[in-house]
Each structure stands twice: as C-alpha cells, then as structure tokens.
Structure 1
C-alpha cells in the first residue's frame, strides 16, 4: 500500500531543519496532515580505525538530551559536496586527524516514518595527525579506544546517540560478518 500525497506546506525552515505538513491519503484511514521533518543537508558518520585496531571517538555533552557520551566523528555535507569528502573534512575538523582511505559502509534512513534523515556511514583508515581539532566546541576529549572498550561503551549505554550506535554496531556486526570466508 502506497500513500498518496496531495500537497505540502512548510511550517518552519532553517539551513539545519525543516518541518512540513504533508496532505496525504493513508489507505484505510483517509486523508490526514502528516508531520514531516526534512533535513536540507546530507548527514555523514564514520568509524575511524587505526592499524592497532583502535577506534577514534569523541566524548561530548549534548544539551538537548542533557547527556554525556562517546560519539564517532560526524557532520553535514554542504550542498553539492560529495559525502565522502564531507566526512573527511569533518573528521579532520573535529579530531585533528586527516583521513587516509575512505570506504562507504552503509546507508540508512533513521526515522523513515516521519523524516527524510538519511545517513551515510563510512569506514576511515590510514589517518595522519595534522594538528589540534579546529572545532573546539565538538568535544571535551578525543581518544583512540580499543575494540573491547568500544563494545563496553556500546553495551553500557555510554555511546547513546543514534548515528554513532548504528555506525559502530554495523561495523562490528554485519560489516565484519560479510567479509568472513
């Protein structure tokens, strides 16, 4: 069953987020106004690993949730910017490490029932430290952590934002399993 769209009107808009009311017909329910959250820029995340099997994570506070947690480097692609180029830029700005090799891991729609939030997750290796992070508001700490530490943080709820949780879980699970002989 496919919903039919008759129109939409914007309720709020900024360079970061837009809220729309879409006039849709839901089979078996009829016509309704459905809230849709749209993101004008593409979102990128990364799992950054080194030759020792460590993961580069940022520790930060998120004022919206009021929580501290560990996150992967992430950010927005500028209009027309290739997402792989965007994540390389974000990793360097947030951590001071320049990306070497960049590989697309997976893509997903985070909240497909209400939003067009589409994430691309990359695996980055071969990084070179080029200096201090440019964006000092991104984190209080930047650390290379062992896989055991990352798994403990994931299972202990200390990696609590969705994109980081999805990126690391995908890398540790399906990505690895798909590469085994």
Structure 2
C-alpha cells in the first residue's frame, strides 16, 4: 500500500470559546486564520463518546437491524445496532453492551471490521469503530428510555442490498454493510 503524503496544518487558531454543552456533545466556535491568511470562524461539534456499531451474524447467515424514529431527520430509519462508548469503556465492550441492550443478543465473539471512521470530519470530531458479532445467543433487550425500537432479523445479503439501494441511510450502517460485502461476506 502506498504511503500518502502528509501536510502541515494551514489553519491557525487564534481563540476558542464554548457555545453549548450537554452530557454528549460540546460545541465551540474558534476564531481562526484561514489557509489563505484571512480571519475567519470555525464551528466544531466535539463528541464526548466514541460511536460504535455492530453487525450480528448468526450461523445461518442472518443479521438483525434496529428500527427507530430518528429525531434529527424526522423519519423512521433501519440501522445496525449502534451506540456510544464513554471514556473508560473499550469500544469492543461498548459494542457488546449496545448489541445486548438494543436486540437482546449476546455475542461469543466480536471482531473489528473498521476503526476510527470519521463520520462528519468537516464539522465534528466524531469517530466510530464497527464490529462483527458471531456466536450469538438471545436474552431480553434492555433499550434506553430514549429508544423505542423494533428489531428485524433478515438475511445479511438483504441488509447489504438495503444499504446499496437506499433503504438504509444511516452512514455507519451503510459503511459497515458495504465493508462486509466488499470482503465477500464474513470471510477475510
């Protein structure tokens, strides 16, 4: 694999101020000197958690999607199980926890699919780690009080097709499912 060229930072931060914060995000506005030399501003959303996503796959080649109303987009969406990893928890353990909370699935094995994916790098520092879960057993789901979820079991190939044809629009889910498809399924 070729080494990509690295470049020095052309931006200069003059000052920074917090404009909003809650338990999940912090919004700041920086006064900057732009790469062209002029003064400007840059707004940044800083996420306090690392995002995690997990594709559970059973021995029959089926997976599970989670359906829920997404407030920001004002529509119902289908996604792989996802959530946040707070400081002090590993992303693999957060993926394991989110999978159980949202679907009731307990995985014997969770392996990394993608790591450090930048979800919206022009306006936020949010990154995501994505996993594949196998060796599945089932228990009761325990969704958070902000989640009203529907869980759907379907062939992994159908979920991949949903990512390809736009029925799944969530970026983490689309990326995860297309990455699995690009690998030829679960084989390395």
SS in 1 for 2:95: helix
Q: Any unmatched runs of 5+ in structure 1?
A: none
Shift of the 46–153 alpha-carbon distance from structure 1 to 2, 3 Å rule, reads: same
RMSD, aligned α-carbons: 2.0
Corresponding residue of 2:155: 146
- Which deviates further from its counterpart, 81-90 or 47-56? 47-56
Q: Is the 8 A contact 2:143 2:149 kept in 1?
A: no
TM-score (ref. length: structure 1): 0.89
Q: Is the 8 A contact 2:164 2:174 kept in 1?
A: no
Corresponding residue of 2:181: 172
Structure 1's consecutive aligned runs of 4 or more residues displaced over 3 angstroms after TM superposition are: 136-140, 175-180
1:25-174 matches, within 5 Å, as: 25-107=33-115, 108-130=117-139, 132-135=140-143, 138-173=147-182
Q: Any unmatched runs of 5+ in structure 2?
A: 1-7
Q: CA deviation at 1:29?
A: 4.4
What is the total number of aligned residue pairs between the two structures?
A: 178
- Which deviates further from its counterpart, 26-35 or 69-78? 26-35
TM-score (ref. length: structure 2): 0.86
Per-residue CA shift, 1:121-144, capped at 9, x if unaligned?
Answer: 1111111102x2111753442122
